Structure 1
Amino acid sequence: MPEATTTTAPADLTDDDLAALDAHWRAANYLAAGQIYLLRNPLLTEPLTRDDIKPRLLGHWGTSPGLNLIYTHLGRVISRRDLDALCIWGPGHGGPAVLAGSWLDGSYSETYPDVTRDAAGMERLFRQFSFPGGVPSHVAPEVPGSIHEGGELGYSLAHAYGAALDNPGLVVACVIGDGEAETGPLATSWHANKFLDPVHDGAVLPILHLNGYKIANPTVLARLPEHELDKLLRGFGHEPLHVCGDDPAEVHRALARAFDLALDRIDLIHRLAREEGVEDRPHWPMIVLRTPKGWTGPHEVDGVPVEGTWRAHQVPLPNVRENPGHLRQLEAWLRSYRPEELFDEQGRPREIVLRHVPQGRRRLGATPRANGGLLLRELPVPPLEPFAVDVDKPGATLHEPTRVLGGLLEQVMAATAGRRDFRIVGPDETASNRLDAVYGATAKVWEAETLPTDEHLARDGRVMEVLSEHLCQGWLEGYLLTGRHGLFSCYEAFVHIVDSMVNQHIKWLKSSRRLPWRRPVASLNYLLTSHVWRQDHNGFSHQDPGFVDHVLNKSPEVVRVYLPPDANTLLSVADHVLRSRDHVNVVVAGKQPCFDWLGLQEARDHCARGAGTWDWAGTDSGGREPDVVLACAGDVPTQEVIAAASLLRSHLPELAVRVVNVVDMARLLPEREHPHGMPDFEFDALFTRDRPVIFAYHGYPWLIHRLTYRRAVHPHLHVRGYMEEGTTTTPFDMVVRNDLDRYRLVMDVIDRVPGLAVRAASLRQSMADVRSRHHAWIREHGSDLPEVAEWSWQD
């Protein structure tokens, strides 16, 4: 790669440029400190008193000066180059800085008109920070220009790359705190540059901000010698530009040169790839910025060093209301920024402060990229009919549901080829999960070396595979929040790796739904397959259906969980979730052959209901009240319930059996607890109020009890599900081990329907005998009993 040269910038800042940048930085620092401390007297027009100070001092000062410095310098290069830019603010609790920057550029006041860009608005800005009814101390949905929740560390760089994908004109600056850099997800994210296509994607400019400390400890990267850190970052595929110091003028000049050089290098990479066809993997620039923790704040407090130490992390001057010395020190600190030079008598920023602030949509707080719903287009999901499987009668044919879905996803990929706003991510499992039909429309993106034996790799691919669930999740979140669509395909057991990440995304969506200026974005869609019941070769380590439990604990207005029992219901569910907005949708579906139960229109109707009776499988027709309800959720439990119903039909034809299938798990909740919840009268009509209900469930059985404990029928509810009994074994042995098999279900009916225990004792014994015979058979033959392996529904 030819060396870039600085062709669009002078060798150094002019004195006027330096003065303007320093004024903006001082103003931002003043506003950040004011948010932590002040209730009133925002311009210090009077000496500070204890009544001017907040009763509870909350917030984080240590990272704010560095973030303010970056915000200041980003404004200069955005204005000078007319950049389309977005910034991801990774350091935890950096809210004061980003709020200060958006207030200075006017975007905050445009979003919240009551927080005007004057003294009255400044007072509101200060009061609301970390205050009841106000805004959090970290970068959150309430902050204009943000797509990244700063409350949890590790995900900034993955979000930045997700935002840059398929945004060829966008530069995404990503500020990475040195504490954040110690997390596993961030460490893996350095490899995301191997998936960035310089032709079709934008650029990510990582800015590693090393201020040396976390809450109470030094940070690893800050204590590495510069040459060692430089080698590490070059090994990740970056060309680092180092800026270090504590003299403001020198740091301003050095950082301005670094930004100009980095952006020149990005321009060169794009030109060589887009105009000259260079296909070598580029080494992208990044900036390493070393500044003191809590820079420009108190040097010492009570004789103890603060600036440049871990003590500057949160509130460097505590007890200001009670300690007159601390109050005087706070006033001296705030006045050191010379606010009278920065704001006029009405509290409006002076011209010198705003000289390098971008205009309009170029402002970091006003970019539509950070309010992705403004840019979102409808996803062109084709009609389902060409992909649906024919079902002449239930249970007569078998298909692999996810393979059927793969045909639909291929067409979605093809339909979005020109607009490039749909991606599939997953940890090395697209083909394993039977979605490889999508390779007919696009390949897997890969920017590193390729070999002749490789398949389906291309620089412009839109399937993304990497063995880091964290990175997949982060890419997709950044992609969705900037106005695109996608799907995360994962083995069911290992999606737990992103439990904490999905928590944060759900919280983001819940908060953003309450902000009228935030437009709805495409939902985060999980397809969980290779599930607990069909891990024939992987065994116990790959058996965990608990992600559904985790998600259903979260905000009911956001989360949805679907368990389609066959191929056509999976198509119908996919059609719905791919079109939905502002949700986290979890779809659990098998990739192994399973029976086709419903035709396409029946599947659509059933999915629209979310739960319903399958009259063809039951024997409670003709107005008969059921003696027992066999309920099921999930593909394997559905098969076992239908097989149990068949056995009951043959051996106890006089028994009125109702079969209920549940697709939408939230339907089990009362309507007051979830938007999809069933009213009591509807639930009672479906499950009865007082008849035995045997429920075969895909996951842990206690979830069904938790969802239904308020229902009248709950004392009569018996749930079978996964009981942490797993190994490498046959498919049917898995359900036997967990007492979910058809024979056990028949025994449950006999045990719970009044009068059957005596009348059907011989049938119960025969069911137990089959289970015993099963154990002997699989140990001798290594396969399931013929009557199980060859079973099909006979009406």
Structure 2
Amino acid sequence: MKVQHPLAAKEIDELNAYWRAANYLSVGQIYLKDNPLLREPLTLENVKPRLLGHWGTTPGLNFIYAHLNRVIRLNDLDVIYITGPGHGGPALVANTWLEGTYSEVYPDVSQDEEGMRRLFRQFSFPGGIPSHVAPETPGSIHEGGELGYALSHAFGAVFDNPDLIAACVIGDGEAETGPLATAWHSNKFLNPATDGAVLPILHLNGYKIANPAVLARISREELQKLLSGYGYVPHFVEGTDVAEMHSAMATAMDVAVREILEIQERAREQGDLHRPLWPMLVLVSPKGWTGPEQVDGKRTEGSWRSHQVPLSGLAANPEHLSVLERWLRSYRPDELFDEEGRPHPEVLALVPPHHRRMGATPHANGGLLLKHLSLPDHRDYAVTVPAPGKTKAEATRELGGYLRDVMHQNEKTRNFRVFGPDETASNRLSALFEVTERTWIAEKHDDDDHLSPGGRVMEILSEHTCQGWLEGYLLTGRHGFFSCYEAFIHIVDSMFNQHAKWLKVTSQEIPWRRPIASLNYLLTSHVWRQDHNGFSHQDPGFIDHVVNKKADIIRVYLPPDANTLLCVADCCLRSQNLVNVIVAGKQMQHQWLEMDAAVKHCQAGAGIWPWASNDQGADPDVVMACAGDVPTLETLAAVSILRSLLPELKIRVVNVIDLMVLQPREAHPHGLSDQDFDALFTSDRPIIFAYHGYPWLIHRLTYRRTNHRNLHVRGYKEEGTTTTPFDMTVLNDLDRFDLVADVADRVPAAASRAAYIKQWVREKLVEHRMYINEHGEDMPEIRDWQWPGGAKTDESK
């Protein structure tokens, strides 16, 4: 570790020149569309008609970037820069242009006067780039458009990345969010022997959009205790004098880097895995630093008024235009850029070499580092199914065995982890603990279960933190799997939004971004089996939320049994640039398909189950469709009843495993053509569709189909309580008896016996209610039901 402080005057000058250049470029992006080097007096024609962007946080971000450049160059460090204050986009764009990365990925935005003009003009401009640290920005894995996730992303980036330091700037507004407050605890999961390090940098500039920031308005002693209580050693850098601040920041950076390297050396060379106290920085600087001190007689620098655009209404107020010109010229651009608009060599003196520039780090373009997982053959984990419904198994427990061996086969590459909020065992994935432990580096007791610093199952009771860790892990080139209770995955709805938008932009619009591993969700403990938790744990609506996103990146799977779940999981772990949502129950349930049939069914996404149908060689009277494990069970039970009550009825059973096949091919890559859809569901026969989630989603996906008018969907309709498994279906009219009643109501061939069938259904439902109220469990005919057929699950028959 090289330490070079106090700084020599020359080094302060170099740091300050770089900082001035970055600030100039940042202000230029917000305001200018022409005259980028102020070679002529500034006029309104040079200024954008709509002034958009955020100045207040930007100079602090530039200051930190400059100082990180210095320690990277001094110590040959590998650093990724994560920007929590999301709308500090001008800073990151400015810095990556200065260091040369921006012009490498966007050659038309060259490092000269014309390139600078384009750089300025594109910012927050139609056809240009957003005002935040968007996917278009080199070096970014964290957009920051929504606050709260910077620190969890930073830790996700350094897990299994032993040589990487994630410098994570946390805005004092972001520090007030719940996800950020929890993410501080990520240091209890960071193994200094095998992981990299996170250097949190809390940036206290005093204000949010209009209000003071909480952490900026408590005493230094209280703030020190808070951060120390989280397990950090905070180093404060505070002031307004530029030279003194440069010197103080350099000293603090040197100390922090030295402490990080010493912690890692003790762990890696001496085997000391006691949880260390990691260093962090607290930068206290004025909001809008180096901007106008006052505008219209009101304090601006060091005030909330500098949060966005300190000077507006330039056309109506010529004095503002003059203030803007003085502000821009205060950075002395003629000293920073040559006649052609290129940065002077002394401005770039502290920029790291090519492979160490933060804008060029491959960790921020994770596809460059991505290695394919070594996957076992999922067919080796097949559940034996001698005939449909003759075997029972817990689907997710079978998946656990497969994931165990995925973990084992990738032990050396250390590029796969499983994430979840304290639910790995509850979700029947305990087989993982045969080859790994839960990650844990905090205090441990003798009777703790499967805790180890080297564990690769990440559990913390915060869905936000799990999601943030996993996103950071994926974005830097690794693979992961997120298991969660279905009802509570909604906690990360907005985080999913941001990641899905990132994937949409990077996969379709930014060719230099390489594909990354997909974000894989397993949602279990689902809506239909919450026997003791009740109504609070019943919500299948995440699927609806996911389907809103761009079709090219969204996949939703509803495997009806263990073998289909294994097929789906294998497909998801092989995919890239997708969000895969798998919904599967963890309870003991019927198994329908042997592995070969499961493989064929999963590849098709939806298909007829001939062994459950009797319409071969004739048009069906009714199509009984189903999607989801419990709806599949109830559909097959209803079919068995109908065969007894109406043996002459021609029934086709269609199971849907890939929900996206229901959309037209024009709307989704997996969508069925209209011809194939009509062949499967018919163009004119009643369709009784039993669905896992909210019924209207099926209507939304199929509204353009020929036979939509004959489609009747049953699903979850916000009725639930602590009750028996079958009663949950009865409360929501998804049960086998109500499905039979639907056929009686809607199928002409059943009309002659409809009255008797519906009376029988009513009586069975009364019998059900009386029985569970007395015995507290479902009737034996429900508990012990089996599919009456005996044919094997061969789709060719």
Question: TM-score, length-normalised on structure 1?
Answer: 0.99
Deviates most, 763-772 or 439-448: 763-772
Residue correspondence of structure 1 range 658-737 to structure 2 within 5 A? 658-737=652-731
1:760, CA displacement in angstroms?
Answer: 3.6
* Letter aligned with residue 484 of structure 1: R
Give the aligned partner of residue 196 of structure 2: 202
Deviates most, 594-603 or 152-161: 594-603
Which among 642, 653, 656 is matched to residue 647 of structure 2?
653
Which among 279, 288, 291 is matched to residue 294 of structure 1?
288
Does the 8 Å contact 2:646/2:750 carry over to 1? no
Which among 562, 571, 580 is matched to residue 585 of structure 1?
580
SS of the equivalent of 2:80 reads strand
SS of the equivalent of 1:19 reads helix
* Letter aligned with residue 550 of structure 2: S
Q: Spell out, residue by residue over 1:160-197, the C-alpha distance to the aligned partner (whole angstroms, 9 max, x if none).
A: 00001000011110000000001000000000000000
Deviates most, 277-286 or 201-210: 277-286
Give the aligned partner of residue 518 of structure 1: 513
SS of the equivalent of 2:640 reads helix
- 1:500 is the counterpart of 2:494: yes
* Letter aligned with residue 392 of structure 1: P
SS of the equivalent of 1:616 reads helix
- 1:87 is the counterpart of 2:81: yes
* Letter aligned with residue 363 of structure 1: R
- 1:321 is the counterpart of 2:318: no
Does the 8 Å contact 1:76/1:358 carry over to 2? yes
- 1:462 is the counterpart of 2:460: no
SS of the equivalent of 1:354 reads coil
Give the aligned partner of residue 254 of structure 1: 248
Give the aligned partner of residue 561 of structure 2: 566
Does the 8 Å contact 1:619/1:649 carry over to 2? no
Does the 8 Å contact 1:177/1:209 carry over to 2? yes
Does the 8 Å contact 2:85/2:147 carry over to 1? yes
- 1:128 is the counterpart of 2:122: yes
Give the aligned partner of residue 450 of structure 1: 444
Aligned partners of 2:350, 2:221: CA distance in 1, in Å? 34
* Letter aligned with residue 330 of structure 1: L
- 1:141 is the counterpart of 2:135: yes
Task: Structure 1 unaligned segments of length 5 or more: list them.
Answer: 1-6
- 1:794 is the counterpart of 2:795: no
* Letter aligned with residue 150 of structure 1: G
Aligned partners of 2:596, 2:111: CA distance in 1, in Å? 57
Aligned partners of 2:762, 2:404: CA distance in 1, in Å? 46
Give the aligned partner of residue 535 of structure 2: 540
Aligned partners of 1:92, 1:109: CA distance in 2, in Å? 22
1:8, CA displacement in angstroms?
Answer: 2.4
Residue correspondence of structure 1 range 282-681 to structure 2 within 5 A? 282-513=276-507, 514-621=509-616, 623-681=617-675
Give the aligned partner of residue 172 of structure 1: 166
Structure 2 CA distance for partners of 1:253 and 1:385, relative to 1, 3 Å: same
Q: How many residues align?
A: 788
1:755, CA displacement in angstroms?
Answer: 4.6
Does the 8 Å contact 2:191/2:273 carry over to 1? no
Deviates most, 270-279 or 497-506: 270-279
SS of the equivalent of 2:772 reads helix
Task: Structure 2 unaligned segments of length 5 or more: list them.
Answer: 790-797
Does the 8 Å contact 1:85/1:364 carry over to 2? yes
Deviates most, 463-472 or 554-563: 554-563
Question: TM-score, length-normalised on structure 2?
Answer: 0.98
- 1:230 is the counterpart of 2:216: no
1:257, CA displacement in angstroms?
Answer: 0.5
Does the 8 Å contact 1:492/1:528 carry over to 2? yes
1:506, CA displacement in angstroms?
Answer: 0.3
Aligned partners of 2:409, 2:141: CA distance in 1, in Å? 27
Give the aligned partner of residue 271 of structure 1: 265
- 1:774 is the counterpart of 2:768: yes
Deviates most, 274-283 or 39-48: 274-283
Give the aligned partner of residue 40 of structure 1: 34
SS of the equivalent of 1:561 reads strand
Aligned partners of 1:742, 1:768: CA distance in 2, in Å? 12
* Letter aligned with residue 593 of structure 2: L
Aligned partners of 1:598, 1:149: CA distance in 2, in Å? 43
Aligned partners of 2:82, 2:679: CA distance in 1, in Å? 51
Give the aligned partner of residue 3 of structure 1: none
CA RMSD in angstroms comes to 0.8
SS of the equivalent of 1:642 reads helix
Q: Spell out, residue by residue over 1:761-793, the C-alpha distance to the aligned partner (whole angstroms, 9 max, x if none).
A: 222211221111000000111111111100011
Aligned partners of 1:244, 1:413: CA distance in 2, in Å? 46
**How many percent identity over aligned positions?**
65
Q: Spell out, residue by residue over 1:499-527, the C-alpha distance to the aligned partner (whole angstroms, 9 max, x if none).
A: 00000000000011121000000000000
Aligned partners of 2:743, 2:424: CA distance in 1, in Å? 40
* Letter aligned with residue 418 of structure 1: K
1:442, CA displacement in angstroms?
Answer: 0.7
Give the aligned partner of residue 212 of structure 1: 206
* Letter aligned with residue 113 of structure 1: P
1:594, CA displacement in angstroms?
Answer: 1.1
- 1:51 is the counterpart of 2:71: no
Aligned partners of 2:747, 2:577: CA distance in 1, in Å? 44
Q: Spell out, residue by residue over 1:704-745, the C-alpha distance to the aligned partner (whole angstroms, 9 max, x if none).
A: 111111111111111110111111111111101111011110
Does the 8 Å contact 1:53/1:321 carry over to 2? no
Give the aligned partner of residue 113 of structure 1: 107
* Letter aligned with residue 569 of structure 2: A
